[in-house]
Structure 1
Amino acid sequence: MAKLIPPSTVTVELTSAELALIRRALHLVRDFGDADDWDPAVCLRADLEAGPHDA
């Protein structure tokens, strides 16, 4: 198991179906997650919607 220390960048390969599932789960954080997780979930979902970035 890897130990991730923020801030860090991680590259993960996902299928389209897996990505869609993650996006849906992040959307549900607003209704079912802790208030502290709302903004990070929105930011991560926006990053996933934007697609890959050039480094």
Structure 2
Amino acid sequence: MAEIKSTGTVVVEFSVAELAVVRRALYLVDSFGTTDDERPARELLADLDEVS
């Protein structure tokens, strides 16, 4: 797993198909991942819902 050294804003472009795969992976983390990964997955899903 990656270690976060600092925080900031990152701009990443996804195709619609790539975004669908990322969302599916985040839903799996939220549903079946470890407790430590659930909150970040939910937060990223919320961010993705805002911009799409």
On whether the aligned pair clears a TM of 0.5, the verdict is yes
The answer to which structure has the higher helix fraction is 2
Question: Over aligned residue pairs, what C-alpha RMSD do you find?
Answer: 1.7
Superposition pairs of residues 1-55 of structure 1, within 5 angstroms: 5-51=5-51
Amino acid at match of 2:13: E
Greater RCO, CA 8 A, separation 6+: 1
Count of matched residue positions in the alignment of Structure 1 and Structure 2: 49
**Percent identity between the aligned chains?**
49
For structure 1, list consecutive stretches of 5 or more residues without a partner in the other structure. Answer: none
Structure ID, larger Rg: 1
Q: 5+ unaligned residues in a row in structure 2: which ranges?
A: none
Per the TM alignment, residue 51 of structure 1 is displaced from its structure 2 partner at its CA by: 0.5
How high is the TM-score relative to the length of structure 2? 0.80
Aligned partners of 2:44, 2:22: CA distance in 1, in Å?
Answer: 10
Structure 1-normalised TM-score? Answer: 0.76
